[in-house]
Structure 1
Amino acid sequence: MRLTRAFGAALLALGLAAAPAVADSSPSASPSGDSKAPSQAGTSFRTATEIEQGQRATASASTGDYLYWSFPADAGQRPTVHATVKLPEQHTTQTWQVDVYDGLRRRQSCQYGAQTRTAAAGTASVELACVLRTVRAWSEPWANDPLPGTYYIRLTAVGLQASDLGLPVSTEVRAESKHIGGPAAVDGSLSQPLVPGIAVTSQHDGGDSGDGKKKTAVLSSIEPDGGWSSGWWSDRWVWSGIGAVLAALAGIGGYALTRGSGRPSRVPPGV
């Protein structure tokens, strides 16, 4: 009876511990709808427009422009970038491409998705998508693995004909992530996320502002909800704990089955 109760308690603990791990695999929540969506894009890495994950950003531009946005991605997330380009009524065949770069401006390859698409003449719009690899908490210096920090989206048309240069277009981008969790967890973490920043000084006053403080410019100030985790938590902890509990219960059960009733055996008379 005691052994049955022990295994019943173990199964209950298994179910309770697995619930948070399953919940972690759901897509990341979108920010509140009261936040104002950006309506313009940057023209370089330095001027990229910051957006939150799940936020829809729009911009009007001319065919041939390079459009840049940036968003934060943390360890354990698998970001997906969606882009839509609404084309003018009169245009020739155009090819549009969306690229994603990390905080070190390294181009990240897409696992899958239509990163490049060609729109035939007269096509009203073209949709692009790029699903990145899962962001790792730590990586070797020589590797090109995605790491926590700022990610840049670049949208542009490639191989344009001269007649299409300068035609007005409207664009829309959105970045979202799916939390992968334990399967992507690694041992180790970055001391700081890859968020670009630069300190600028004034040529007139030697770098001090009027109040005596030095001027500092941060190229990206946005971060995930709840801050940067740097991979300190993983649902592997949950499953490791469950394994330890089950191993202990198995040991207790095996001992209970093999130790017998615990009473001393009767010695026959005359022995």
Structure 2
Amino acid sequence: MITYEHVKLLVEIVAFVSLTGALYLLIALRGVLKDILGTSTIRGVYIGGIIFWFGYLINVLNDVLTLRFLKILDDIVVAIGMVVIAYSTIWVKRQIVTRVKPRVVLEGESGLQSGAYLTKPMHPPDLLRLLSGKKLFAVTRSPQIYESLNVPYIWITNIDHPKAISPTRLAPLLHAIVKGADDNTFVILDGLHYLIVQNGFEATIKFLVSLKDALSEKSAGILLIVDPETLEKRHLAILEREFKWILR
């Protein structure tokens, strides 16, 4: 005779198998998810998911082994897993909602048309004169420089800061830059070497090409500050196919 307990056990087994499949899919997509969420965040989601899975396994065992401590243990383990997952996803949300509003810092008229450009490091006031009349913001490893010049910025760092985005979270960084840009905006990006160190060249160039295309659709521009001595020749050649030198 089929009892309520039998049905309940069957439902929990089906739910557990579904959860196991979802966890397997999450692990199988780890490469894609790491690019979107960042290494540390996806690690937290994995750890939380495994803890949650283990808690649900204990929950299924509750219907087979009627031990009192298991009924308490499953709730504790599931709760820990949910807390870990929630903490990781909340951190992603904080990264994604970073906002920056471009500003005209130096009045005038720049001869630089919207597009994607490379330049060697230059004195910051010279950079502002080059982009006079443009609405600017910077994506930088050195926020103090731009803060002193009254240039809005996104700080690429692992430090917890309202204007910061982790260098390994390229998708949230791309979102924040494109969200902040409009026509007549130029994005100054001076943290290229740091992004390559943190993500590798392949991931970084994909990010830069996607950023270039997205800004182009908004009639905005990007100025990538590059020291050729810090790049391999083949990497520099790839950059030069996507970006044009203005000062070399």
TM-score after normalising by structure 1? 0.25
More strand by share: 1
Structure with bigger gyration radius: 1
TM-score normalised to the size of structure 2? 0.27
Q: Between Structure 1 and Structure 2, which shows a larger proportion of helix residues?
A: 2
